[in-house]
Every structure is written in C-alpha cells, then in structure tokens.
Structure 1
Amino acid sequence: MTALHHYLLICDNDKFACIGGLPFFYRCEDVPAQGVKVNTDEAGNSIYAIAHQDIDLSQSPEESTGQIEFLRFRHLIGSLDALQSSQLAKAMQLLRFRQDHQFCSRCGTPTELHPTENATVCPSCHYHQYPRVQPCIITAIIKTTADKPQILLAHHLRATDSKMYTVLAGFVEVGESLEQCVHREVMEEVGLSVSNLRYFGSQPWPFPSNLMVGFIADYQSGDISIDNNELMDAQFFDIDSLNENGPIIPPKGTIAYQLIEWVKQHYQSKTD
C-alpha cells in the first residue's frame, strides 16, 4: 500500500511558494500546528496551507530543491485548472480567517481553534466564528444591433495602470437577491437597464473572500452614464473586435475571462 503524505501550500498573503512557475507542495511527515486543512487529493494525501513565516523552507526534501519564488495568485491563475485555483483560493481565505479572528468579536477574549471545523471558539462566551463568504455578481451585458452583437466592457479606476476592460461586478447587499443585485449594480455603474438574466457559473475569489456569481444579461434601455467613483470608461465593443488588437481583457482562469470568451464563441457562431 502506498504511504499517504501531508503536503503544505506555503502562502505569503496573496503569494504562494512556487517552483518553475507553479505552486510548490512541501511534503512533510507532521503538520505544524499553524497549518490549516484545505482538502484531500485524489490519492488520499492531505493538503494543508501555512503562512511562510511559520515554516523553514531550508528543510525541504532533496527532490524538491530548486529556486523557490513567491508568485501572486493573480499571476498564477492562468496556469491553474479549476481545482488548483480553488485550492489556492481556499488556502488564502482560511489563513486570513485565522489571522483576523484571533479574538472574539463579542467579548474580546483570545479565541481557540475548533478541533474539527474551520472555526474559532471563544473559551469565555463560547461564540463560534466561521469563515465568511461574500457573494458578488459579475455580468456580461449583450447588445444586439442591426450590424453586429456587442458586449459592454468597463475600465475601472482601480486598474488605471493595466488599461484593462472587463465586465461589471459588485457586492450583493443585505436583503438583496442575486438578480436584484445585477439590476442595481448595472444601473449604478453605467445607467443601463438589462433583462433576460441567465446564470453562467461561479468562482471563489479570495480578495478578500468573495464568491463571484456570473450572469449573462441583455441590454434593454438607456444611455451609458458611468459612475466616476468606480469607472474611467465604459462602452459597447463589437464582439469580433475582441482580439489581439482589441481591448485588454482579464487573464485566463478568471470568471470574467470565461464570460467574455463564452460571449465571443456563442455570438460569433451565430453571425458566421
């Protein structure tokens, strides 16, 4: 019988220890107390995450020697499959949860780790704190014209250096459904009404602990009027202009990229 192992993902905020441009899984016999369980792989090996300051990389096994570098999750995501991306996102979020919940939010007492759950427990008032997930919508808006189908893309203020254009996204508010959030965010950010919402898919996004829920929507009415506190620009692009000479779009591996690619393939096939 093949012996099972423990492997550690080593995290430095939004960066991971990598070798050859891919995440480095550090094999160990005993998991440090600071390690947090992420999942179990298909072979039955346990995957843990640990902060880089809590482990001595100089003790890595000989077969894993090489140039270790720390790469950002955003840089890695285009090289990862969905399972790997989910692993890294979960690792980041669980380590951040541990860091941010060292004290009880009700009484201020130092917390203890729950022995079997991803939770912290207050030994004084017994309050349990669990990792929070923040739902966000992300929407590709399609406009059909007499000439060519178009997609709405926006240039965000936070992306001034990259000049990237992407689909609209926003946080779900308390008491709001996902569909209501789509309508509100689109109206607030670009002043448009949309209709015919279709669910696309979802993706965990660890900045800080989001669940991105994707939709396709049809333009209904209105003229673009951007929220200058959020956006630098927004416009409808011909779908066939989304090529190497077109606007810079989000990297592979992101749900924003997947939405844009789906629209390109689906609507181009209709016009070819």
Structure 2
Amino acid sequence: MADTRSPITYSCYYSCNRSGEQFVPEHVLSYQISGTLTVNNGDKDFIFNEGDFRFVRRNQLLKFIKQPPPDGVFKSVSIYLDQVALQNFSRKYGQNAGHSKTTIADPVIQLSGDSFLKAFMDSLIPYIEGDQPADTQLEILKQCEAIMLLMRAHPELKDILFDFSEPGKIDLEAFMNKNFHFNVHLNRFAYLTGRSLATFKRDFEHIFHTSPSRWLQQRRLQEAYFMLKEQGKTASDVYLDVGFEDLSHFSFAFKKAYGVPPSKIAG
C-alpha cells in the first residue's frame, strides 16, 4: 500500500513538549516560526529559535524539546525530502553525490535563510491550515521546489541530499553504549548499525552476552540510578531521558531491579 502521509507537517504546542520523533528516516527542511526547539543526538544540543532554518539529515536518532515563548505558542513548519522525491529529482536534473564523502558531520544543520527560503516556508502554511485536503501533485512540486532552493542556497548539501547509500556495518558496542537511551525498536538499531535484525541479535549476544532487550533495560536503569543518586533528579525528570515510554513502567522496572521505588533513591 502506498504511503499517503503528507510530506508537509506543522507543529503547534502551547506548553513544553519533551516527546519527539526519535528515529528520523528522511531528510527534513524546517523553519522555526516561534518558540525554541532543542535537538539532542546523544552528544550535544542543537538549539533553534524564532526565524531559524534547519536541515535534519536522514537516519538519525534524535530527541526534541519544544518550548513555547512566554505567553505564546511553539510553531514550526517542515517538509520531508524522502528518498523517492530525491531520486526522481536526481534523474530529472542530473544531480548526483560526489565520489568523496561529505565533511559535514552534524546530524542537524542550521541554515542561513534567505528571502526565497522564507517565502517558500510561508507558502506551505495553506497546505496545513486549509479546509480541503492537499493535492498530492502540488506536494510533489513543493518537494522539488525545496530541493532546488536548498541547492541554490547551500550547494554543499548536494553530497548529502543525493547520497542514496544505506548505513554500513559499524562498531555495534560503541553504537549501543552511545544510543541505548533512544526508545526505538530493535530493527532500527539493526538498520543503523548496517545489519539485518537476525545478524544484529547474534552479534549483540556475542558482544554483551545477553539479549538486546534485557541489556537495554539494565543499561537504562543503571543510567537512571546514577541520575537519581548523583544528580538529584526525580523519576519524572529521568524516565524519558533514559528511554522509557511512561513513568509507571519505569517505576515498576526500577523497583523490580533495585528493590525500592525511584523516589527512595536520595540524591
């Protein structure tokens, strides 16, 4: 079945929101209309304020904090540049990635916006706020326009946009120790380390001598214990940060592992 989701999205929050897409499968071009977005990839924070443009690279594990301005609303608009759209553009306009790998390492890139990009982002609003469903062909044209404007303003992104290779096999132990706190399915971890799910599980048990699910829960609880004990944080502060979906599940797992609820771990 074809994916019928619109590539154009709009975020609007009246209070701070710490949930966010943790696996980003496609490139995204976004504009911050109001409020502040903080993006973390496990190594550092990337902060975007009102009027900022950003480009998020595909195949990233990221956490988002969406903070409205005082007495205001968090708003941002984005367009996804999926692989099909980029491959079609590549064929039509003869654009290809260079032979050498790009030197741009950051998963999220702040762009210097211009009047063309700003006008383009403004033109996306009717696709979200309109009363009638958007026309698929018009959305395809908008994706093409976004790619053209990115190439015009930031030609250095060419080797990222038109690199259609899949993740290669990487150091599994280092990757998991860095990314255990991202709450994604095992097949995502497998894909990002360049493995099938079966190979991922086999390699994982060879390295860690336990199953991925058991190791992930133990590692997340260890990190939570450290944050509670050494940093004086509360269960509400840490459960999302270490990769649990909800507070009750975290509290249950913590008490089962340590014999006491998180609230009894004094900082």
Q: Same fold (TM over 0.5)?
A: no
Which has more radius of gyration?
1
TM normalised by structure 1 equals 0.29
* Structure with a larger share of its residues in strand: 1
